[in-house]
Amino acid sequence: MSSSSALEAAASTFVCDRGARARPSWKALAPALLLLAACATPPALVPVSSAVTAEAGGATARASALTVRVGIETFLANVPRALREKRVGLITNHTGIDRSRTPDIDLIAKHKDLKLVALLAPEHGIRGTAEAGEKVVDETDPKTGVPVHSLYMSEDRGPTPEMLKDVDVLVYDLQEVGGRTWTYVSTMALSMQAAARKGIPFVVLDRPNPIGGEIVEGALLDPRFKSFVGMYPIPARHGMTVGELATLFNQKYGIGANLIVGRVANWRRSQWFDETGLPWVNPSPNLRSLAALTSYPGSVYFEGTNLTEGRGTDRPFEQVGAPWLNAQEVARVMNERRLPGIRFEAITMSVAPTAAKHKGQSIPAIRFAITDRQAYRPVRTSLLLIDEIRRRHPRDFAWTATIDRLTGSDKVRLAIEAGRIDPLLEDWDRQAAEFRESRKPFLLYP
């Protein structure tokens, strides 16, 4: 490869954003500036030996001539010159790994061009074992001896000046799940703000959206209901990677960070996680499968009701239930609607004694059985199911205090109470279609 083509290939690996896009002049810029000024152009596709990836149905397989490489791999293969020898603060957990399952912590700690000086832990902790809402404490990483600062002492905590006092560059690598309510996205936004205040670069090591990058569903968050489970106006299912979200937040909402995205190589928006060849890691204790992630953008709304969303069972976010639920009848009625890509199964499920809802009980429940994930719309499906359950159990069904912030406004609660869910869903479809178009300037992958 010639020196000029090598520079162009390296530049296409990174996206640098300071709030506006610019296209570099290859003749005018020095190599180091090329890496930092390069903007979102399609990454070079690197041919490798064929690999087998699963089709949506799981029964067939096809050969792929490209290997998907996550941001940690593309970034460390050619660290931008301006970041070399810098002291790194790393926001990560057990999902921050390369294709061989080697943790980012170890990879950065031993890298010749970087010095790891601080680790920052989000919800669920640095190893991803803490339950939802459980306090994460400061500690020391036993392998590297690097201090671990908690970003989840309280749910709205970003990095403090004290945490960043020895940090020259803040690096983020956490697996996204495709739903707005995922708190790691809020952690990223707060951390970008902290980096901007200190005037240090913020690097996102990007990863594929595990439920694909094409489908967009749900209404945009109403800013009046901003919280740690939704900070910016994006839909319930946004179809973006964290690198793309960071670019959107930085440009559209004025964070103003010196943002660098270490891009994923060879990923396309049409790909789901099981088509990438990447190793699966549970993103959190209660998201244990791709099926759970697929339903999660909608089934998370059951957290805002007195039905359990499946925590404390063998399949959280894939099944919902309550002691008073007539699961057989509700499943029958919902199946008669023939909603695309989904079948409802009436089951009985056991809830662990440690669960928050219906603890230690065996209760009637409804399981989401996905038959066509491309056609399935989990947000619409879950809202229609909640509406049906409330109609059949008006005395037993109840909202919890979290429903409005989970759905991003009070409109869901008010529409269901008024028996007007259909007009709401039509409006949500319109908002999703508009967002699908408006997000295009921030997309990094074809």
pLDDT for 280 beyond 80: yes
User: The sheet that has 319-321: what strands, in order across it?
Assistant: 319-321, 362-370, 342-350
Question: To 5 degrees, how large is the angle CA 243–CA 244–CA 250?
Answer: 90
pLDDT (mean) for 257-280: 98
- Who wins on pLDDT, 136 or 48? 136
Q: Check if the beta carbon of residue 415 is closer than 8 Å to that of residue 384.
A: no
Mean pLDDT of all residues in the chain?
A: 87
CA distances from 49 to 10, 52, 104, 228 (A): 22, 10, 25, 43
How does strand 139-140 pair with strand 342-350? unpaired
Res 18: pLDDT:
65
The whole-angstrom separation of Cα 314 and Cα 17 is: 42
- Maximum Cα–Cα distance across the chain: 73
pLDDT at position 128 is: 67
pLDDT of 374 strictly over 70? yes
Indicate where the chain has its CATH 3.40.50.12170 domain(s).
9-284+438-442
Q: For residues 101-110, give the mean pLDDT.
A: 96
- Indicate the DSSP class of residue 88: E
Instruction: Assess whether pLDDT exceeds 50 at residue 279.
Output: yes
pLDDT of residue 44: 31
Q: What is the pLDDT of residue 27?
A: 34
Q: Which residues contact 400 (CB under 8 A, 6 or more apart)?
A: 303, 304, 305, 306
Give the residue range(s) of CATH 3.90.1150.140 domains in the chain.
Answer: 290-409
Q: Does domain 9-284+438-442 have CATH number 3.20.20.70?
A: no
Token pair in block for residue 79: 């660290």
**How far apart (Å, rounded) are the C-alpha atoms in residues 211 and 272?**
5
Query: pLDDT for 154-195, tens place per residue?
Result: 556 789 999 999 999 999 999 999 999 998 999 999 999 999
d(CA 373, CA 342): 8
197: confidence class by pLDDT, cuts 50, 70, 90: very high
Question: What pLDDT score does 190 carry?
Answer: 95
Are 116 and 85 within 8 A, CB to CB?
Answer: no
Q: What is the CATH number of domain 290-409?
A: 3.90.1150.140
Give exposure, 426-445, as e/b (b: 16+ Cβ within 10 Å): eebbebbeebbeebeebbbb
Across 338-348, average pLDDT: 98
Identify the pLDDT of residue 130: 63
Ramachandran region of residue 358, left (φ > 0), alpha (ψ -120 to 50) or beta?
left
Label residue 134 by pLDDT band (50, 70, 90).
confident
Q: Quick check: 399 pLDDT over 80?
A: yes
Query: Is residue 316's pLDDT more than 80?
Result: yes
The pair phi, psi for residue 89, each rounded to 5°, is: -105, 125
pTM for the structure as a whole? 0.87
**Are 259 and 192 a contacting pair, CB within 8 Å?**
yes
Report pLDDT for 9. 42
**8 Å CB contact between 126 and 92:** yes
Beta strands 86-92 and 114-121: pairing type? Answer: parallel
Poorest-confidence range of 5-9, 275-279, 339-343, 417-421?
5-9
The burial of 421, by beta-carbon neighbours within 10 Å (0-12 exposed, 13-18 middle, 19 or more buried), is given as: buried
Question: DSSP characters for 167-223?
Answer: -SEEEEE----SBTT-HHHHHHHHHHHHHHHHT-EEEEE----TT-SS--BSPPPPG
pLDDT at 22: 37
pLDDT tens sequence across 7-61: 334 444 677 776 544 333 333 334 334 344 444 333 332 222 222 222 233 332 3
β-strands 86-92, 169-173: how paired?
A: parallel
- How far the first Cα of the chain sits from its last, in Å, is 25
pLDDT at 164: 97
Residues 6+ apart with CB under 8 A from 332: 346
The predicted pLDDT at position 14 comes to 76
Helix locations, 1-81, DSSP H: 3-11, 31-37, 71-77
Q: What is the pLDDT of residue 19?
A: 59
Helices 290-299 and 378-392, axial angle in degrees (round to 10): 60
